[in-house]
Amino acid sequence: MAEAEEKFRNLLSRQSKSLEHAVAEYKRRYNRNPPKGFDDWWAFAKQHNVKLVDEYDGLVEDLAPFWNLTGQELRRRALQVGRLPSIDLVRIQDGVAINANVEKIWVDTERGHRSLGFRTMMEKFQEKLPDMYFPVNAKAEGRVLVPWEHQNYPNLTEQDSTSEFEVMLREFSPDWSGRGNVWEAWRRTCPADSPARRLFSSRRGPTNENIKVFLGPVAEARDEVTFVEQPDTNLDFCEYPWAHYNQGHFFSDWRTIPILYPVFSPARAQGFSDIRIPSHYYHGQNQYYTYGWDPLNVEPKLVDDMEVPWDDKEDAIFWRGATTGGGNSPPGFAAQYQRHRFLQMSDVRMDANRTIAFADPPSSTNFVSARVSSKQLNDEIMDTAFVSSTGNYPEGEEALREHHRFADSVPLGKHWSYKYLIDLDGMSYSARFMAFLASDSAVIKSTVYREYFTDWIQPWLHYIPLSSSYQEIYNIHAFFSGATQSTLEAANSTSLQLALHERRSEDGDMRLRRIARAGKQWKQTIGRTIDMEAYVYRLCLEYARLWADDRDSMSFTL
């Protein structure tokens, strides 16, 4: 936590203070001049007090492959991909962002909320942009999976967007329809000599013991407690292909695209080539995804009506949500998706033991450990449940409800009654993360996705990162809140003689509250809607240069 705070403080302090410095920093990082209009973007950023003006490495990374295409080829591909299902074309025409009407190869039933949100993010600067098209993903899931050969040997295996597109059209459908799946498409993005490309390795069963090494340390096996520095956004499924069974996005029903097309999506998992944009859920506020939503004035307010003072919040880990988290292609694997795994682990019926480390006496530096029943721990610190069922589950709906706890739906504001809010991936990223950060509760986040803000936020300062195995969740709670009754009993601790309020870790509670406050501060200063717009503005300038035939003329020089 101390390192995280220092790292973020240094990040803020080294941001450019002038346009001249920003240009020099851009050239130092990317070895080229900034895009045309960079001076207008700088003025926009300064006008709206954007804090992080240099941190756009992720954006540049997303666009890097398109430098290998000519402007003419990029324009052709943008129009082509707009004909596919669940891709909306946003067009800048004469300084106005509109939705373009194109002939679709399939009847499209998507409502276009993401393209509407993207257009809204451009309203403040759209008149400064040249004419161009943005293919916006109408799905939450990633869409573009380019085979490794086409990424690394473009001259030898160049993809022709004319002939290959026509071939793809003849067999393309909105879903897989039994003719493949995301994993089979994804593993082709791996190097040719990787285990994921070797047929046998890629089909190893999910019970293989090596999956435990991949997903995180097994604390019970070594009597150790290990935390992660950041979420598992760089999990190497190419080297550990059998671990893909535990991530639902590999089982999405929606077809991916095997050609490098410019598709703008709200999140990006390893191996995908989508271009990240802020989620429309973050920008277009509504009562389901916005902290402090005021339905009368149709806008958010600083403090939610259901917010609870810190000392009155329940000292438990809270989660409610739907069973979303993966599709059914191929069927039969839903029980291992990220949300299902967490619900199974945190259920009071879970029959296992956990190694818990805790300070004894409370708030001291003397740490001891004990083996504690999961049933007891879950009963003491977990309040998790599904509220609705979507998709398919092995053995049907009855088995789903038998193996997982279900409860009634709750308003978003119910979350603020708890000190710990767990944030889990769904079909893609979690759309509630910004709302959780804005609250006075601390967020524990597990994700395999990178979003537009990934380089802007600091784990262990603004939120608590959690591995994809979730194994350390109990020790996170023990560190901040102290040992539970069952933990003290298992350790035969003398702290059992203390009153309940004396068993709490005052130092840990102070640190937890500090994380909650830092997350809220980040949301109010760096995670604002105007910061999302500044990101999109910068993205548009970079994309406009790629769109041009003469890219040198689309560069900015002092």
- Is it the case that residue 163 has pLDDT exceeding 80? no
Whole-number pLDDT of residue 476: 97
The answer to whether residues 278 and 452 touch, using CB atoms and an 8 Å cutoff, is yes
Whole-number pLDDT of residue 235: 87
Of 91-105, 270-284, 537-551, which gets the smallest average pLDDT? Answer: 91-105
Whole-number pLDDT of residue 167: 67
Whole-number pLDDT of residue 46: 98
Whole-number pLDDT of residue 198: 86
- Give 475's contacts (C-beta < 8 A, 6+ positions apart): 219, 225, 227, 356, 357
- The tens digit of pLDDT for each residue in 24-40 reads 999 999 999 999 999 99
How is residue 391 annotated by DSSP?
A: S
- Bridge partners of residue 35, in order along the sequence: 555
Whole-number pLDDT of residue 165: 65
Instruction: Tell me what percent of the residues of the chain surpass a pLDDT of 70.
Output: 92
Q: Give the separation between CA 482 and CA 315, rounded to whole angstroms.
A: 10
The answer to whether residues 334 and 466 touch, using CB atoms and an 8 Å cutoff, is no
pLDDT band at 155 (very low <50, low <70, confident <90, very high): low
Whole-number pLDDT of residue 168: 67
- Is it the case that residue 265 has pLDDT exceeding 80? yes
- Is it the case that residue 287 has pLDDT exceeding 80? yes
- Give 335's contacts (C-beta < 8 A, 6+ positions apart): 344, 393, 394, 403
- What is the mean pLDDT of the segment spanning 335-359? 93
- Is it the case that residue 335 has pLDDT exceeding 80? yes
Q: How far is CA 163 from the centre of its chain?
A: 35
- Is it the case that residue 412 has pLDDT exceeding 50? yes
Whole-number pLDDT of residue 178: 85
- Is it the case that residue 502 has pLDDT exceeding 90? no
Instruction: Tell me what percent of the residues of the chain surpass a pLDDT of 90.
Output: 77
Whole-number pLDDT of residue 209: 42
- What is the mean pLDDT of the segment spanning 348-354? 89
pLDDT band at 284 (very low <50, low <70, confident <90, very high): confident
- Tell me how crowded residue 224 is: count the other CB atoms within 10 A of its CB: 13
Per the confidence metrics, is the pTM higher than 0.85? yes
- Compute the mean pLDDT over every residue in the chain, rounded to the nearest whole number: 91
Whole-number pLDDT of residue 254: 92
Range picked from 339-353, 377-391, 532-546 for highest mean pLDDT: 532-546
Whole-number pLDDT of residue 216: 45
Whole-number pLDDT of residue 377: 96
pLDDT band at 161 (very low <50, low <70, confident <90, very high): low
- Give 435's contacts (C-beta < 8 A, 6+ positions apart): 289, 290, 291, 412
Longest Cα–Cα distance in the chain: 77
- Is it the case that residue 210 has pLDDT exceeding 70? no
The answer to whether residues 415 and 441 touch, using CB atoms and an 8 Å cutoff, is yes
Whole-number pLDDT of residue 317: 98
Whole-number pLDDT of residue 193: 93
- What is the mean pLDDT of the segment spanning 280-288? 88
- What is the mean pLDDT of the segment spanning 371-379? 95
The answer to whether residues 54 and 22 touch, using CB atoms and an 8 Å cutoff, is yes
Torsion from C-alpha of 490, 491, 492, 498, nearest 10 degrees:
-100
- What is the mean pLDDT of the segment spanning 271-283? 96
- Is it the case that residue 451 has pLDDT exceeding 60? yes
List, in order of start, the domains of the chain with CATH numbers: 288-525 (3.40.50)
pLDDT band at 160 (very low <50, low <70, confident <90, very high): low
- Is it the case that residue 158 has pLDDT exceeding 70? no
- Is it the case that residue 215 has pLDDT exceeding 90? no
- Is it the case that residue 221 has pLDDT exceeding 80? no
Strands of 87-93's sheet in order across = 96-99, 87-93, 132-137, 264-265, 275-276
